[in-house]
Structure 1
Amino acid sequence: MINKDYIKVNCNLCEIPFKTHLSFRYLIKDITAISEQDTHPMYPMATSLLSKLKKAPELMDEVVEQKTLDKYPELLKQLMSFAFNPLLDDVELSAAWKPFDMEQEIYSTNAFKKIMGGPNRRFELAKELDENQMLITVLYQAYVIILEKYYKLDIPIDLPFTLKMTDTDTGLVKFFNKRFNSRFLEIRTIGEVKDLSAKQIKMLFDNDNDLVLWNKIIPLEKFEFNGFLQFAYHDVTRDHAISDLKSDLLKKESILSKDGYLKIKDKIRTLIENPHAEFGMAANYGFETNLNQNFIWNTIIPREELDCHDYQGTMYEKAFKGKQIVLTTDMAKLEKDDVVAAFLKRGIRSHAIVPLILDDEIMGMLEFGCKKPGGITMIQLKLLHDLFPVFALAMKRSKEDWDDMVRSVIQEEFTAIHPTVEWRFREAAAQLINDDDAPDNKKPDDIIFPDVVPIYGASDIRGSSVERNVAIRDDLRKQLREASQILEGHEVLADVPLLKDLRYTIEKHLKTVGRGLKAGDEVLIIDFLKKEIEPVFNLVKGRYPGMIEAIEAYEKLLDPELGVIYNKRKNFEDSLTMINDEVSDIIDKEQLKAQTVFPHYFEKYRTDGIEYNGYIGQSLVKELEYSSIYLKNIRLWQLLVMVSVARKVRSLQADLPTKLDITQLILVHSKPLSIAFRQDEKKFDVAGAYNIRYEITKKRIDKALVKGTRERVTQVGKIAIVYSHADEIAEYKHYLDFMKAQGYISGQVEDLELEDLKGASGLKALRIEVDFNGSDAIKHDKQVYEEVITKE
């Protein structure tokens, strides 16, 4: 039987259709057998108990009433000592019940009474099954017992049900797995019960969520249960909460929606066993930026109460910059600031901040608070330690999803559909239009293309972040120095106090630029130049005619639209744009030709370079027959296009205002996967959690290092072909022989092992050097490829 947590169960029963009776006959039968074995360790107890039971014959009746249990409580305990181990009375969470009647408990251990007993304990199934979930639970238990005890079938399952227990006094939530033992239960039949055929057994297990069918084949009203059921309970609070949290964090809405955040908050409280703990989370784009204006900001202190600048210099900045957990045992002992005051106003005394780090980059932060001093401890945080990487990945994915959503707002309501798969969208639209009975708000069916092979490549600008930062620093340094020379170079301004302060601020900013810019420094300095230097220069020009020439010379250096010196940055941006335009143009033109060989899905996007995703397979096309030869063709095409791109970028070097170059890589993934159209973001994505390794690898391989070195696998003038399995790369080696013979590449093919990445291990790579002296011509007709792709 499969997991009932997520299956809709077909059931037309409203109550238990069979009779049940409490009886100890099966247990007494076992005790009698022990009394006949004088070597048995419990022989004396068994003989003594049977002697006492003769004086209480009601306990040996076929049906035992509650009043009988009340009359002989001590004998009942002695009876149960043969079913429950007395030595584990304070350890095991166990109880005995009248068959399928959870209202009539007949015995329970002290551990059960202490942890699960009492009127303040509320029980429910952890996950909803159906409207009559408790009834359905009983029916499944009954069928398992019937199959095992009456039909003598070996059922290869354990049927646990997870119970959620809420302490209504404290709000504390715990979860328990509940397993039953039917050893002391007897089954009787009423009327004729037919044997089961092999065909019927198969039909039952093929339709295990259809209890209407089950009851037709095995009518429950023909069975009667006598005896009692034992139940054992195991605390699975931590495992259940962690599993649920991980599942929640895989969903986009868990981070982006208020409801998702509240669910996470409840599970965090369960994990740290503090039903009143406060919890917050936020995404970060850099601490010095306007961090609390980002899209993920569910913090303990609402964003309306604290400005982002209030967090600077506090424990938050310490956690962010130090990339470390910051624990505060008692807020009242800290030096007062706006943040501390806001927490104390809410009664929060203990607090912890946890930075979420992924690839040495902070994705966001979690925070925990409690009104009790010392209520948040490092031990509690260690209980959550395994979840922090999952939170970090979820935060990163949510940030990426949010960025995609922002871009989609700029576009039309429906983005352009790639021509290769347009036919499938037309079918879905036609079906929706032709369905006259469909409600107005009905959504189209999911659009999924199974068994397609992914194609991924990237041409990335090497060191673009460093070059951009250098350009920004050079422009800011020049403008600050020019402004400083004006303020210092004229005696008439030397003794003006305000201008002395401006010169001092300029020197501070020059030191900042010299040390290296942090997030927010550029905005701060430009704001100073525009809002403080510019008004003063305008005032000085009107007051001191002798200053006009110098200030106008300064103003001529400024970009007329941006109002700042924009020389180095413009050179960088122009160079970046020139390279990306040329690379994009080559890929676009060659893609048009490649589509004529065999249609495939292809999407290209700009970062600091050009990346693309492609998919090829039978499900993407409707009227053409797919063959693996087309996959080989697109892989060879991919290599030749990269050679063409490398040569083009090399030819641009003399014309680039800022010298930039590219690195290129291909990710090989031979195992077919499925892609699904995400209706909410109007884009395709890989479907299924099992494909997450491919997505993680894609995002991280550009930073991969050659094993045992600090050398990046991607290098200027070379193409890296990254793969996981040796059988994936055999055909590539054949292509490389062809390319070398044709003058596309030169030198030896490097066969490399790569350092493990987080979420992706065992990667290898072939690295080839582009021959920059050959022709750039790329042809796509069958004649060019036939010899290469058919002679492997």
Structure 2
Amino acid sequence: MLRFINYLLRFVVYTEKNIDLFNTFVPNRFAMGSVEQSNVKKEIKCHFCDIPFKKTLSFEYLIRDIENIAEDANSILNSSAKDLLKKLEDVPELRGEIKDNSVMEKHDTLLKQLMSFVFNPLNCKEEITAAFKPFEMEPFFSSQRYKKTIGAENKRVDILGEDTSNANIIPIIYQAYCIILDKVYNYKLPVEIPFTFKLTDSQNQSVKYYNKNFDISYLQVKPIAKLKELKHEDITALFDRDHDLDFWNEIIPLDKFEFRGFMRFKYNNITREHVVSELKSDLLDKNTIVSVEGYKRIQEKIRSLMDNPLVRFGLVSFSNDIESGGKKSYLWKPIVADSKLRYKDYEGSIYQQAFEEKRIILTRDLKEGKQTSVKKELLDNGISSHAVVPLIIDDKVVGMLEFGCPLLNSLTLIQVKMLYDLFPVFALAIKRSQEEWNDKVRALIQEKFTAIHPTVEWRFKEAASKILNSREDTASVDRIVFSDIVPIYGASDIRGSSLARNHAIQADLSEQLEWAYEILKIEKVIRDIPLLSDVSYKIQKHLRTLKLGLKAGDEVSIVEFLKNEIDPFLRLIKDRDPELTGPVDKYFEMLDPELGVLYKKRKDFEDSLTLINDHVSDIIDKEQEKAQDVFPHYFEKYRTDGIEYNGYLGQSLVKDLKYNEMYLKNIRLWQLLVKVKIARKINQIQSELRTKLDITQLILVHSNPLSIEFRQDEKKFDVAGAYNIRYEITKKRIDKALVKGTNERVTQVGKIAIIYSYVEEIAEYKRYIDYMMAQGYLTGDLEELELEDLKGASGLKALRVQVNFKNEKSCHINQQVLQEVTDE
């Protein structure tokens, strides 16, 4: 049954000017959520193209009531009823079936007297009422207010209907069955809620909403043939197949009924209640305020609610996170196009006043008072009166609504405050849309750009917002390029890590092979399983290989030999002879349970390497956070056998901040101090290392500005331009650079190497080194070195200086000291 009622709700059909005769039902006992959940759309089976039953206009049931009044001596209408009945004696055609409208036109005065018993004549100017023939669209009688409000030529009634070939007949069939169930079978549907429709004035495009209550007191349904008795199971079957009107017609044939009498309707203006409810529903949809169609729907409803079809509506949100250009948020839909005004134009305007004072600012005449660029643009856009409403959540302005009208003094606070109940809903909708947008932008950044450094995140948000704002599905991704920036690079590398790793591998594999060999050497084993002598030979061969040093592929082949040949043989001999259980069990117990090989020396090496890198990384992270506070810059860190980092500084990387070369000087001194702090820390933890490891450190100086571009395919930044490639090549090879004329590497344990190309670049560093020596951070003589040419990089030079490990003075990186030194 519930689906049946839902079909009634969906299939009420309108003509261009008129609504249908019958009310649409919604069950009182069901919540709206339940109705929507059960509203499963199915194709309606209905073969009717015309109304299949007889319908007749008649006043006989009304006249019968009037006759009862005339017989009641106590009725105040007794004399009026008698008078009317006497007049009707001379007009018998009004008592029977009325087939021609001319009958009513001929006896118009008598018709009005007749209908006065249905509609109070005293209320004809206030009440919107009308009477209709059964299933007809035009009323045969209506109040003055109806004719002016709904029946006028300039009024249009609208409703959403079904796009089907027989869409006009389907609602009539459903309504007919409702009345038949009520009048004939005494089956009362639990429905009373009236139907709502939209009324548009085609002259000024104003919109209002009405509902209608109908009365079928003077409508009767007469069977004109013998009917089948309906049982409970028949009613159940009908409502189970509520989409199949052909089945309904088999059970209750419509051509067996006649509808005789008339319907009366009363209409109520529910514009405010309806619009407020609809706006709240619209704003619950997260896409409404960001879509073009949704925005238009909101404006139309606001015009209706304010009873002003000329009102224009604007909405903006304020977000500190998402930007799509300038300081304007992605949701920036003011009355004046955002291309007309820059963000700074709003400073000192009525918008800023509303923002700061957190109150509605109403301007009845924009030509009055101080003129600003904002007022000028509003006037140029045909706006003469204007109102701004701040939207507030937790005492914070999250956005604004604005209303404008071309007529002077046409906006009042009363009109604006008619929307008062909606202001919190708008505020929540904006906040939710901001959060949704943030999530979309972040997801798009992850998809298109991967993880992004906070300093340049603004640029990626711009690019992501542009894609999301584009109406094209194939919107291209902007090139993200930062020009005229200065790079910084540093590395803290584990000296001899590859050699130490190989020694650890050799030691583990040798110990495991020797342990296996000792088990297989047992005479009893060899005697019982002669083929194992071949395995023993292979073990000796692998041991000799390990003593000569690991070559490419040796580790893999030895591990496969241990797992595929040694392990199965050891399990075999353990099962054959219980005396070997102990030695074999001890062998397997010493192996790593996950790797299946001995992992002792390698674990010592990996743990030592990890401990060093963790300390280096932790120092860089903590000090980098402080350096970002001095001036934001791009910074990324890599972990290999050591820790490397790239950084870039420059004006193009930041917004709303002014770059100065002083910040570059600051970061260069910061680099040196961080290197000292790292060297000291690694020197302190040497006793904690199970494998003896140490670090070498270098800084690469490159003073010429370059450009970097985000490579979409590789999801990373890379230098742009052929000339700048030399810098990347140098970075990859300088850790192995040799001092010219020697076999000595420029990087040495306990020292910091500063690599550069031009003499002009290094004077600054010498000043910093002098300061650090004076503070006791560095010691010894400053070495000035030339380096052997590298493939793709020649003419390199270096400064090298020793870290002072004896000085216990804390190597605290004080920003004030940094500033003082760089200012010299």
Q: 1:473 to 1:366 in 2, by over 3 A?
A: farther
Residues 347-385 of structure 1 show CA distances to partners (whole Å, capped at 9, x for unaligned) of 101111111112222221111100011222111111111
Determine the C-alpha separation between the residues in 2 that align with 1:53 and 1:115.
32
Determine the C-alpha separation between the residues in 1 that align with 2:812 and 2:400.
41
Match of 2:406 among 360, 371, 375: 371
Question: Is 2:51 the counterpart of 1:16?
Answer: yes
Q: 1:39 to 1:119 in 2, by over 3 A?
A: same
Q: Name the aligned partner's letter for residue 229 of structure 1.
A: M
**Does the Cα contact within 8 Å between 2:358 and 2:390 map onto a contact in 1?**
yes
SS in 2 for 1:352: strand
Question: Which residue number corresponds to residue 161 of structure 2?
Answer: 128
Of 215-224 and 319-328, deviating more is: 215-224
Question: Is 2:181 the counterpart of 1:72?
Answer: no
Residues 601-636 of structure 1 show CA distances to partners (whole Å, capped at 9, x for unaligned) of xxxxxxxxxxxxxxxxxxxxxxxxxxxxxxxxxxxx
Question: Which residue number corresponds to residue 169 of structure 1?
Answer: 203
Q: 1:196 to 1:140 in 2, by over 3 A?
A: same
**Does the Cα contact within 8 Å between 1:26 and 1:184 map onto a contact in 2?**
yes
**Does the Cα contact within 8 Å between 1:22 and 1:65 map onto a contact in 2?**
no
Question: Is 2:419 the counterpart of 1:310?
Answer: no
Matches within 5 A, 1:23-62: 23-62=58-97
Matches within 5 A, 1:545-694: 556-558=665-667
Determine the C-alpha separation between the residues in 1 that align with 2:388 and 2:812.
46
**Does the Cα contact within 8 Å between 1:150 and 1:187 map onto a contact in 2?**
yes
**Does the Cα contact within 8 Å between 2:220 and 2:259 map onto a contact in 1?**
yes
Determine the C-alpha separation between the residues in 1 that align with 2:256 and 2:395.
65
Determine the C-alpha separation between the residues in 2 that align with 1:14 and 1:161.
25
**1:523, distance to aligned residue in structure 2 (A):** 5.4
Q: 1:186 to 1:406 in 2, by over 3 A?
A: same
Determine the C-alpha separation between the residues in 2 that align with 1:291 and 1:211.
60
- Structure with higher Rg: it is 2
* Structure 1 unaligned regions, length at least 5: 416-469, 477-521, 535-550, 567-654, 659-792
Determine the C-alpha separation between the residues in 1 that align with 2:284 and 2:669.
48
**1:135, distance to aligned residue in structure 2 (A):** 3.5
Query: Cα RMSD (Å) of the superposition?
Result: 3.5
Q: 1:559 to 1:229 in 2, by over 3 A?
A: farther
Question: Is 2:436 the counterpart of 1:401?
Answer: yes
Match of 2:415 among 370, 377, 380: 380
Question: Which residue number corresponds to residue 366 of structure 2?
Answer: 331
Question: Is 2:315 the counterpart of 1:281?
Answer: yes
Q: 1:389 to 1:43 in 2, by over 3 A?
A: same
Question: Which residue number corresponds to residue 149 of structure 1?
Answer: 183
Q: Name the aligned partner's letter for residue 192 of structure 2.
A: D
Q: Name the aligned partner's letter for residue 556 of structure 1.
A: K
**1:225, distance to aligned residue in structure 2 (A):** 0.7
Question: Which residue number corresponds to residue 226 of structure 1?
Answer: 260
**Does the Cα contact within 8 Å between 1:351 and 1:370 map onto a contact in 2?**
yes
Matches within 5 A, 1:726-741: none
Determine the C-alpha separation between the residues in 2 that align with 1:65 and 1:561.
101
Match of 2:305 among 256, 271, 281: 271
Residues 258-304 of structure 1 show CA distances to partners (whole Å, capped at 9, x for unaligned) of 12111111111111111121011111125998666421122111111
**1:414, distance to aligned residue in structure 2 (A):** 14
Q: 1:555 to 1:398 in 2, by over 3 A?
A: closer
**1:14, distance to aligned residue in structure 2 (A):** 3.1
**Does the Cα contact within 8 Å between 2:322 and 2:329 map onto a contact in 1?**
no
**1:474, distance to aligned residue in structure 2 (A):** 8.0
Determine the C-alpha separation between the residues in 2 that align with 1:219 and 1:14.
15
SS in 1 for 2:386: strand
Q: Name the aligned partner's letter for residue 225 of structure 1.
A: F
Q: 1:287 to 1:199 in 2, by over 3 A?
A: closer
Determine the C-alpha separation between the residues in 2 that align with 1:414 and 1:46.
85
Residues 175-232 of structure 1 show CA distances to partners (whole Å, capped at 9, x for unaligned) of 1112221111121223232121101212333444543443333222221111111011
TM-score normalised by the chain length of structure 1: 0.52
Question: Which residue number corresponds to residue 726 of structure 1?
Answer: none
Q: Name the aligned partner's letter for residue 180 of structure 2.
A: I
Q: 1:27 to 1:325 in 2, by over 3 A?
A: same
Q: 1:217 to 1:356 in 2, by over 3 A?
A: farther
Q: Name the aligned partner's letter for residue 435 of structure 2.
A: E
Question: Is 2:292 the counterpart of 1:258?
Answer: yes
Residues 306-350 of structure 1 show CA distances to partners (whole Å, capped at 9, x for unaligned) of 111111110111111222111111111132221111111111011
**1:129, distance to aligned residue in structure 2 (A):** 4.7
Determine the C-alpha separation between the residues in 2 that align with 1:332 and 1:133.
53
Residues 96-134 of structure 1 show CA distances to partners (whole Å, capped at 9, x for unaligned) of 01111012x111112212222211111122x43554555
**1:240, distance to aligned residue in structure 2 (A):** 1.7
Q: 1:202 to 1:288 in 2, by over 3 A?
A: closer
Q: 1:22 to 1:248 in 2, by over 3 A?
A: same
Determine the C-alpha separation between the residues in 2 that align with 1:88 and 1:471.
79
Match of 1:101 among 136, 143, 146: 136
Runs (4 or more) in structure 1 with deviation over 6 Å come to 287-291, 470-474, 559-562, 655-658
Residues 747-782 of structure 1 show CA distances to partners (whole Å, capped at 9, x for unaligned) of xxxxxxxxxxxxxxxxxxxxxxxxxxxxxxxxxxxx
Q: Name the aligned partner's letter for residue 228 of structure 2.
A: K
**1:84, distance to aligned residue in structure 2 (A):** 1.2
TM-score normalised by the chain length of structure 2: 0.50
Determine the C-alpha separation between the residues in 1 that align with 2:670 and 2:415.
54
Residues 657-686 of structure 1 show CA distances to partners (whole Å, capped at 9, x for unaligned) of 99xxxxxxxxxxxxxxxxxxxxxxxxxxxx
Determine the C-alpha separation between the residues in 2 that align with 1:19 and 1:561.
96
Question: Is 2:218 the counterpart of 1:184?
Answer: yes
Q: Name the aligned partner's letter for residue 79 of structure 2.
A: P
Instruction: Give the % identical residues.
Output: 43
Question: Which residue number corresponds to residue 388 of structure 2?
Answer: 353
Q: Name the aligned partner's letter for residue 324 of structure 1.
A: R
Determine the C-alpha separation between the residues in 1 that align with 2:670 and 2:387.
46
Question: Which residue number corresponds to residue 194 of structure 1?
Answer: 228
Q: 1:319 to 1:200 in 2, by over 3 A?
A: same
Q: 1:213 to 1:320 in 2, by over 3 A?
A: farther
Determine the C-alpha separation between the residues in 2 that align with 1:313 and 1:286.
20
Q: 1:395 to 1:209 in 2, by over 3 A?
A: farther
Question: Which residue number corresponds to residue 817 of structure 2?
Answer: none
**Does the Cα contact within 8 Å between 1:58 and 1:64 map onto a contact in 2?**
no
Matches within 5 A, 1:73-88: 73-88=108-123
Determine the C-alpha separation between the residues in 2 that align with 1:128 and 1:351.
37
Determine the C-alpha separation between the residues in 2 that align with 1:367 and 1:258.
17
SS in 1 for 2:197: strand
Determine the C-alpha separation between the residues in 2 that align with 1:39 and 1:656.
107
Determine the C-alpha separation between the residues in 1 that align with 2:242 and 2:317.
44
**1:140, distance to aligned residue in structure 2 (A):** 3.0
